Amino acid sequence: MKFNIKNTQVYGLDKAFKASGNPMRTIIDNGEVTEKDIQRAIGLAKTRGGEGHDNFLKGILVQMDVTAPLFWWKQAQRYHWFDFVSSQSTMHCLLKFDVESQCVEETNRDILAIMKHLIDVYNAMSDDDPTKKNKWRELVASLPCGFCLGATMTTNYQQLKTMYYQRRYHKLMEWHIFTAWCEELPYFKELLGLE
């Protein structure tokens, strides 16, 4: 299995471009987006994170489906506004997955053989076996970090800006795929001054 991002939807781009001008207005402008609005938003978005000038980026919402190995999810979960809408569940589906095909190709084959053995032992146990709960715990605790799960996520351009700058040169190729995906989002490269 490979890391992937699919079914991307972006919301609120025009509204956020208009809102970027609110600090200088006495009346909120809900008219059509003008070239002036776009250029102002691009200028403000290029400012350093934490200055507050790019806060309007929070209004550009993004939803997507991400399939990633557990080792990537542990890193991605550090971002406050990268939220799970819903995800696949190991508790409900571990025994339904083909664990080997659900793992990245670099997952050690010996570990996959151990997982297959643990699943076979668990499946052979009777439901009234008092050790079955402990065997389940061993099974879940032994799941390799290369195991991939999918999730529907929601975030915004301000969070993606932070993630992009913090992860674009990361060791994991998954982050390179992620940052390349960011660059394909509408106006993302322009807003970050990447062109």
pLDDT band with cut points at 50, 70 and 90 for residue 41: very high
- What average pLDDT does range 160-177 have in this prediction? 97
Question: How does the average pLDDT of the chain come out, rounded?
Answer: 95
Closest residue by Cα to residue 181 from 164, 169, 162: 164
Burial of 112 from C-beta contacts in 10 A (0-12 / 13-18 / 19+): middle
Q: Which of 146, 145, 147, 121 is nearest to 134 (CA)?
A: 121
Per-residue pLDDT, 124: 97
Question: Nearest to residue 13, comparing CAs of 152, 157, 155, 153?
Answer: 157
- pLDDT per position as a tens digit, 68-88: 999 999 999 999 899 999 999
Task: From 71, 34, 49, select the one nearest 156 (Cα to Cα).
Answer: 49
Q: Which residue has the tokens 């571990």?
A: 94
User: What letter does residue 65 receive in the DSSP assignment?
Assistant: E
Beta bridge partners of 84: 153
* First-residue to last-residue Cα distance in the chain: 32
Parallel, antiparallel or unpaired: strands 83-87 and 4-11: unpaired
Task: Judge whether residue 176 has pLDDT over 90.
Answer: yes
Instruction: Indicate the burial class of 192 (C-beta count within 10 angstroms; 0-12, 13-18, 19 or more).
Output: buried
- pLDDT the model gives residue 83: 95
**How high is the pLDDT of residue 26?**
85
- pLDDT over 90, % of the chain: 89
Percent of the chain with pLDDT over 70: 99
pLDDT reported for residue 42: 94
Mean per-residue pLDDT, 159-173: 96
Residue 165 has pLDDT above 80, yes or no: yes
Q: How many CB atoms lie within 10 A of CB 67?
A: 17
pLDDT at 49 exceeding the cut of 90: no
DSSP state of 143: -
Torsion of CA 170, 174, 179, 184, to 10 degrees: 160
Segment 91-142, tens digit of pLDDT: 899 999 999 999 999 999 999 999 999 999 999 999 999 999 999 999 999 9
Please tell me the predicted confidence (pLDDT) of residue 29. 87
